[in-house]
Chain A
Amino acid sequence: MSAAELDARLLATIADWSAGGVGCDDPAFDEHARALFLHQVERNEPYARFAAACGYSQERPPATWREIPAVPSSAFKDAVLATFDVALAELEFHTSGTTVARSGRHFVERATLYDAASLAGFDRFVLADRAPIRFLNLVPNPRFRKHSSLGYMVGHASVLRGDGAAAYFLEGDSVDVEGFANALDAAIAAGRTVCITGTAFAFVAALDAFETAERRFVAFSGSRVMETGGFKGRTRVVARDELYARLEDRFAIPQTSIVAEYGMTELLSQLYDDESSRTSAIRVKVAPPWLRTLVVDGDGREVAFGETGFLRHVDLANRSSVVAVQTEDRGYARDGGIVLLERDLDAPPRGCSLDAEELLGAHATARPDR
């Protein structure tokens, strides 16, 4: 199947789901995913080599989408995983890299797919009420960090769904706390509902500053928070429930209006906290129907429902790279979605063997940012 045909098919799926339809059912997903596999092994040599090492090829394709060989997310550092000439890429996203010095690169042939896939999820899970809204963003500004997939995604939503006054308050590792406070004050004074997006670490930095200054805000009714990104490489980690309690306390935004997004540079679709679980201690992440997640063990075998394992995503929006990505994230299946666990890379080592991290003088810390 050609790229254009695959893209058209996915766009139709997204449009159907956005309009309240099913999007794609199990057979449709399976057929689409396997078509993508064939498309990719024909055009994406590194993926074809990896698939061959796993025993799959065009001649011997996976029997179902569950069998599609998933590249480890680190493969985006080791190879150019693209089905096209990357000089023609409309988008290029970089991971920050945590375990080795190199960063991973995800080339996207058509921005249209990413725009449609990411916006549809954002609309459904963050902006379901379609309220007129102002974006205050504690994420990388896409104007200056053009290779940040998070910045791009939020920027796209801000432009298409915002009130035209979106602003960014994260520069490198620094949060412009004063600028953010002023912007929030202005939105409140104008009676404007806000959507505050940010990485967990940026939120903590802002909260620390506001708490020190004993400064509180009462965001306009309907305001919300989209949190993402964890605590990549940070020495200070705050438990998520503590973070949400502090956000609620400082901004008067109820925890039910705080939505965690789970995405990564290597995927063009995202998962979000299911609305029904936002009142629960355990938040379940759900995805649009063109992104499906398997929970697998260390050898790549699916685990029983409810058991903990690694998350493997099959994302139909990854048309121009690799449809299946094996992540380093852990979680378990529950209530039609998955529960994401914090990464545990501190398992006590055994023996006296050297490991690569030691040799490189680097240490793995957390999942890559975007």
Chain B
Amino acid sequence: MLIRALRAAHIVDAVAAASSRWRDADFPARVRATRAIVERTGYSEPVVDYALDRLFGSLTAAALRAAIAGELGSLEALDGFVERDGRPDVFFRGLEEVTIVSSQATIGVAIPPLAYALCAKSRVVVKDRSDGLVAAFAQSLAEERPELGAALRIESWTSHDDPHALERLAVSDVVVAFGGPESLRAIRAQTPPDGRFVPFGHRTSAGYIARESLVDTERARACALGAIRDALLYDGEGCLSLHVLFVERDGDVSIDRFVALAREALEATALEFPAGSDELSPPTSIARNAARFRASQRGGAVIAGAAQGLLLIDPPQEELPPLVPRALALYPVGGADEALGFLRRHALPLVGFATNDAGRADILGLAVASGASQIARLGTLQAPSLAGEHGGVGRILPFVRAITKTG
């Protein structure tokens, strides 16, 4: 049977069932994949485990159904025409060929789009990494529903110039690509002119702590822990990794006290999520040394914590923040306007904005104006919901064509 013959609900259930098997840390395929990911990326095992827990813990039938229903109106709209109030009937038919090019160094980033593309009943090719995580998950999907296995192909390309890759990209209705600007440019150049190209480029994230979160030590400590977790997780190398943190000056908890709490948080988080490697890579070391010098020049403090964590306190605002692994720059500010001025001056392309104070209108306004597409509480920035949009783009919308019917 072809995937087209399956009902979307059955696909959702199959994906969720496969995912639930992967939630078990002792599931043999996951154990093997974890080892391979640690080997490939150099992230520590707790970090990889956390990533897989987050990924498969959120890849549930409820999340898939909620996202699909939210974007398309109903799950059934993937199976045939459905009525809509005041609008023509619609059938969201999955596009035929989807290609997902995962990035060099992220963990399982191709799996959510793969799941949604299958729900759209598309044929999917994923360029996998050497750890074979996607291939192993594909095997689980096939075990749940052979039709999913038949619709899914996992490939390994040596480069985007690989003849096979070029051939594949040229016939893709949708290409989802993760990577840096050069990779995205190269991939985009190979996609059909009328095909959909959904790029997820490199981004960074910022956070904001308002005086309302600095009314007492406990709240301030929770913010510090959350911020440091957002900064250190994945060695600070994710687009949702926090690199810039604004802290309002006039809280009951002073900036100095908050810095002390952040220092404690640095030590605690380093134990929970140790650095992937004992040694920093040369480019990272060089960048960190340069950042430390610059931070020192305005009386700003430099705190080198355990496990390569680095806190730069009040570095020069005219300089770019240190966009290097496991480093967080903390900028005392008078208010949201000052933070927005900083972000605009440096044209920082943000994807995430972490704050516990989005209830304050000016901070919510800052988060929206910052360009971020995800606003989250501190400490949860790197755990986005799979039911929400990703990088400002719908989860299933990129994979479907709306066919309307009147009369």
Contacts and interface: CB of A to CB of B under 8 A. Distances in A.
A360 B283 CA distance: 16
A125 to B, nearest CB: 28
Interface string B171-196: 00000001111000000000000000
Given A298-B288, A352-B202, A355-B323, A71 B280 contact: no
B197 interface: no
Interface string A176-189: 00000000000000
A358 interface: yes
B282 A344 contact: yes
B320 to A, nearest CB: 5
A353 B202 contact: yes
Interface in A331-370: 343-345, 347-356, 358-360, 364
Contacts of A49: 296-297, 299
Contacts of B106: 350-352
B242 to A, nearest CB: 10
B180 A349 contact: yes
B282 A328 contact: yes
B295 A347 contact: no
Given A299-B304, A348-B104, A352-B109, A74 B286 contact: yes
Contacts of B299: 49
A297 interface: yes
A40 B204 CA distance: 38
A46 B180 CA distance: 35
B237 A53 contact: no
Interface in B214-238: 234-238
A60 B241 CA distance: 37
B290 A72 contact: yes
Contacts of A75: 290, 293
Contacts of A71: 293
Contacts of A349: 104-105, 180, 237
Interface string A270-306: 0000000000000000000000000001111000000
Nearest to B104: A348
A352 B289 contact: no
B98 to A, nearest CB: 20
A344 to B, nearest CB: 6
Contact of A354 (B179, B284, B323): B323
A104 to B, nearest CB: 11
A98 to B, nearest CB: 11
A79 interface: yes
B236 to A, nearest CB: 7
Interface of A: 46, 49-50, 52-54, 71-72, 74-75, 78-79, 297-300, 310, 326, 328, 330, 343-345, 347-356, 358-360, 364
5 contacts: A74-B290, A78-B290, A351-B105, A351-B236, A359-B347
Given A78-B294, A298-B280, 8 more contacts: A75-B290, A298-B284, A299-B285, A350-B106, A352-B203, A352-B239, A355-B202, A360-B320
